[in-house]
Structure 1
Amino acid sequence: MGNIKTPIPKSQFWYTLLFLVSIQNKVLCNIYQVGDLDAWGIPTSSNPQIYTKWSKNHNLKIGDSLFFLYPPSQDSVIQVTGDSYNSCNLKDPILYMNNGNSLFNITKPGNFYFTSGVEGHCVKSQKLHISVYGNGSFVEDSPADGPAAPAPSYPTVFGAIPVTASASPLLEIPVLMFAVAAGIFMSVIVI
């Protein structure tokens, strides 16, 4: 018996292509480097509101991650309540990260507050507030609710995470290119 090629029905090709294109936006989550090229540190006098501007320029969603890059011997990141954020209170953080390449995964909608864990950095505007919307709804912080449970943060066990200055919609192109390439490959097999 020689090589017998069973043709793949053309309808299967189109179903596969349709499936890959439909999940393209659902499977892509972005990693955003906080501060972009400036990373995580005390803002400079030329750009004192860097983190306020940064959060307004990024539309974060559930599934995205924040990447805080900083020298671990000189800084850290803590997640705090809204009140602690406003008063720069570093006591009793919700989450403490100090490995220099900290990743915070957004797992639910709401307001999230971060500051440096080093005394004096928060009052120098090294702090970040983000609002995350999900499925058309938004959970507003309420003092009666108390602090929200932290989204899980995972240590980087294989070294630094390669991150571009910020996530780009161009990251979606490889999935579409894969779908087109798979379709071309499947159509060649059918012929």
Structure 2
Amino acid sequence: MANLRSSRYYFLLAFQFLVLIQTKVLCYQYKVGDLDAWGIPTSANPKVYTYWSKYHTLKIGDSLLFLYPPSQDSLIQVTEQSYTSCNLTDPILYMNNGNSLFNITAYGDLYFTSGEKGHCEKNQKLHISVLSATAPAYSPSNGPSAFSPSYPNVFGSIPQPPSSALSASSSHSLSIPVLMASLTGFLVCALVGGIM
């Protein structure tokens, strides 16, 4: 009888582990603008980056892939004020390798523009909002759209998030479901194992 309890206990422990690893951990890599490259928008679609950001719901763990010829363009992350005024001085982050990967590590608004003079004024800039896990989000679909395929992960820069971008309360919101699942699994294992 001890072997039956032992095997039942280990079965439920394995089941609890499987439940924990099945929590939603989906991260996507989005090619910015769904264009061939990060560049100055065409006259036929001058607001391509504005429209693109409206139809993509981004979350922590996702990444943005900016492709461009490194000899002709670059990418900078800037403040809201610099984004609005197209001020290229003192960027938060500067990338110029032509295959720039920006990993989203914090909630809030992020602003990007080309690091080349005159490109920002021609609408080569992107503003995205990364919502918290509990905030309602507009999303035309449950996953990435057909127009934004997920690309294989490539090496890229991992930016340091601004210290004000992540509040103390939001850092704990992701661990509550895992804590509840662990507690429930422990109680079930304890009941079946005869501890309680």
- TM-score, structure 1 length as denominator? 0.62
CA shift for structure 1 position 24: 3.7
CA shift for structure 1 position 18: 6.0
Show the 5 A alignment for 1:21-100: 22-100=20-98
> Aligned equivalents of 1:69 and 1:111: distance in 2?
21
Instruction: Pick closer, same or farther for the CA change 1:79–1:37 going to 2, 3 Å.
Output: same
Matched residue, 1:110: 108
Map Cα deviations across residues 74-105 of structure 1 (whole Å, 9 max, x no partner).
10000000011001010111100000011111
> Aligned equivalents of 2:149 and 2:103: distance in 1?
15
The one-letter code matched in structure 1 to 2:119 is H
> Aligned equivalents of 1:12 and 1:45: distance in 2?
63
The one-letter code matched in structure 1 to 2:149 is S
> Aligned equivalents of 2:69 and 2:8: distance in 1?
54
> Aligned equivalents of 2:96 and 2:77: distance in 1?
12
Instruction: Pick closer, same or farther for the CA change 1:68–1:19 going to 2, 3 Å.
Output: same
Contact kept in structure 2, 1:75 and 1:98, CA below 8 Å: yes
- Identity over aligned pairs, percent: 67
Matched residue, 2:150: 167
CA shift for structure 1 position 137: 5.7
SS at match of 2:133: coil
Contact kept in structure 1, 2:86 and 2:121, CA below 8 Å: yes
Gapped regions of structure 1 (runs ≥ 5)? 1-8, 139-163, 169-191
The one-letter code matched in structure 1 to 2:92 is I
SS at match of 1:53: helix
SS at match of 1:27: coil
Instruction: Pick closer, same or farther for the CA change 1:44–1:18 going to 2, 3 Å.
Output: farther
Contact kept in structure 2, 1:82 and 1:113, CA below 8 Å: yes
Paired positions, count: 136
The one-letter code matched in structure 2 to 1:166 is P
Contact kept in structure 2, 1:37 and 1:165, CA below 8 Å: no
> Aligned equivalents of 1:63 and 1:118: distance in 2?
28
> Aligned equivalents of 2:41 and 2:12: distance in 1?
51
Instruction: Pick closer, same or farther for the CA change 1:13–1:125 going to 2, 3 Å.
Output: farther
Instruction: Pick closer, same or farther for the CA change 1:10–1:93 going to 2, 3 Å.
Output: same
The one-letter code matched in structure 2 to 1:49 is K
> Aligned equivalents of 1:15 and 1:22: distance in 2?
11
Gapped regions of structure 2 (runs ≥ 5)? 1-6, 137-146, 152-196
Instruction: Pick closer, same or farther for the CA change 1:53–1:14 going to 2, 3 Å.
Output: farther
Poorly superposed stretches of 4+, deviation over 2 Å: 9-28, 135-138, 164-168
SS at match of 2:35: helix
CA shift for structure 1 position 166: 2.5
CA shift for structure 1 position 19: 4.0
